[in-house]
Amino acid sequence: MSPHDGPGHDHEHDHGPHPYQPDIEDSGYTERMVMAQAVEELLIEKGIITADEMRAQVELMDSREPALGAKVVARAWADPAFKQRLLEDVNKAAAEMDIDTGHIPIRAVENTPDVHNVIVCTLCSCYPRLLIGLPPDWYKSRAYRSRTVREPRVVLAEFGTEIADDVEVRVHDSTADLRYMVLPMRPAGTDDWDEDRLAELVNRDSMIGVSLASEPK
C-alpha cells in the first residue's frame, strides 16, 4: 500500500479540494541552480562525462554513511597499531578495511584528555564525505561555519558538549586540500568490548567533534 492509499484518502475528491503539495521545482530555480544544470548538460553533450557516470558518482556519495567511519574508529580503539596508521593516513587505513575513500586525503585528529578537536570549513562545507557520508545541513550553515571558529565552546555547549577549561579546544578549519575527522576518545567501561559493539558508540557528531562518543548503557 502506498502512503497515499487508505482510509480518508480515497481519491474520490468529493470532500473539497485536495491540499496542494508543492514539488521541489515550485520553489523556483536560482541562477546557480540553472548554471549547475547547464554545466552538467554541457559536460554530457560534449562527451566529457556520461549521464551514467554522473548518476553513479551521486549514488556512490549517497551510499556513504557515518557507520563506515564508526567501524574505522572502533578498529582504532581496539588495535593500537591500526590507530597509528589511521592517524598517519586515513585513506590508507580505511583501505585495509576495504573502504574506498577516494583520492581526497583525509586526516584524523585525536581527542585526548588534554585536547578536544572540532572540525569546520569556514569557506564552504568541506567534509570527509566518502568516509562518513553527506554533511548534516547545520554543518553547511553560515552560523556553524562562522561561530565555530569564533566561539567554539558556545557552539559545543549548544550541542550539549561541555569541555572543561583546562582542556584545549582545537578548531580545525579545512580550508584546502585535506578533509578531517575526529578520532573521539574511547568511553570508559568498554575494555572487554569487541569492535562491532564499540562501533555502536561512535555517532556521526563525535567524528565532527561537536559531540563525544556515546556512553555505554
Partner 1 sequence: MSAARFQSGDTVAVSAAYPPGHVRTPYFIRGKSGVVDSIAGAYPNPEELAYGRDGMPALPLYRVRFKQTDVWPDYAGPANDTVVIDLYEPWLEPTS
| Residue numbers at the binding site for partner 1 (CB under 8 A) | 105, 107, 122-123, 149-154, 165-166, 168-178
Instruction: Find cell 567554539 and name the residue.
Output: 152
Q: What distance in Å separates the CA atoms of residue 180 and residue 127, rounded to the nearest whole number?
A: 7
In terms of CB distance, is 145 or 204 closer to partner 1? 145
Least distance in angstroms from the C-beta of 119 to partner 1: 10
In terms of CB distance, is 34 or 167 closer to partner 1? 167
Q: From residue 25, how far is each of 17, 51, 137, 140, 169 by CA, in Å?
A: 22, 21, 20, 22, 42
In terms of CB distance, is 105 or 187 closer to partner 1? 105
Least distance in angstroms from the C-beta of 66 to partner 1: 23
| Cβ partners under 8 Å of residue 83, min gap 6 | 76, 77, 183
Least distance in angstroms from the C-beta of 91 to partner 1: 12
Q: From residue 56, how far is each of 60, 100, 129, 147, 195 by CA, in Å?
A: 6, 15, 15, 35, 31
Decide if 63 is catalytic.
no
Say if CB 179 and CB 102 are below 8 A apart: no
Decide if 121 is catalytic.
yes
Q: What distance in Å separates the CA atoms of residue 172 and residue 169, rounded to the nearest whole number?
A: 10
Number of CB atoms found within 10 A of residue 114's CB? 9
Decide if 214 is catalytic.
no
Decide if 124 is catalytic.
yes
What interhelical angle do 31-45 and 51-62 show, nearest 10?
A: 120
Which of 2, 27, 63, 121 is catalytic? The answer is: 121
Least distance in angstroms from the C-beta of 8 to partner 1: 54
In terms of CB distance, is 51 or 167 closer to partner 1? 167
Q: What distance in Å separates the CA atoms of residue 40 and residue 57, rounded to the nearest whole number?
A: 13
Least distance in angstroms from the C-beta of 64 to partner 1: 23
Which of 63, 124, 141, 146 is catalytic? The answer is: 124
Residue positions annotated with a catalytic role: 121, 124-126
